[in-house]
Amino acid sequence: MFKSAMGYLGGVAPANMPTLPSFESTPDDALVGSVVDVGGQKVTVRKRIGEGGFAFVYRVEDVNENSRVFALKRLLAMDTEKKNLIIKEISLMKSLSGHPSIVKFVSAAEAKGVSQGCDEFLVLMEFCPTNLSEVMTKRNCKPYPPSTVSKMFAQITSSVAKMHRASPPIVHRDLKLENLLVDDSGKLIKLCDFGSATTETFMPNESWSMNQRTNLEVS
């Protein structure tokens, strides 16, 4: 059953929803083909399209809105610390949603009694079919004309500026091609993945050792 959390996590899973596999289980994903309710939004899970660390990403379709396509991110927390980080990630994503160069948040839910030995969260968001890394690979890294580069750079810096102007300011800390999604039109870039984002601020000065600076950069 999906349990409400933080005022925006909620929903109820259907009775016939299969138990989700652990990371060590068979590669066949029991979530694919099922219908889940994520905060009141019912979707059919069509395909797993990505994974990394303790997260899976799926392509899903809304069961009521002419099969509208979304992305579903599944996050597993093995302990309280990881759970709190996931809740923070969802909260930051929701607060930033609405900016044209940031992936749109739709809804989220916490799953209880689904995966053994860990807490699980589902996050429903805007679907983008590819990312800038995949686009560049398909182009064999062929350079874009300056006018296109300037438009892309403007979108990326706009999303970062939105985060830095928040109160408190948000630092993404994982800005890379894979986290820059490209929409269906191929013209709009959307920043995603706020799992490493933080609102913590530091004021290093000349007294900081190289070890202190290094530990801060990788923390």
Residues classed as catalytic = 174
- DSSP structural state of residue 79: S
- Whole-angstrom distance, CA of residue 164 vs CA of residue 88: 17
**Dihedral sign for Cα atoms in the order 53, 127, 80, 196:** positive
User: At a CB cut-off of 8 Å and minimum separation 6, what does 21 contact?
Assistant: 28, 29, 30
Q: Which long-range contacts (CB under 8 A, 24 or more apart) does 183-190 make?
A: 183/128, 183/129, 184/128, 184/129, 186/135, 187/151, 188/100, 188/101, 188/155, 189/101, 189/132, 189/152, 189/155, 189/156, 189/159, 190/101, 190/102, 190/103, 190/104, 190/126, 190/128, 190/159
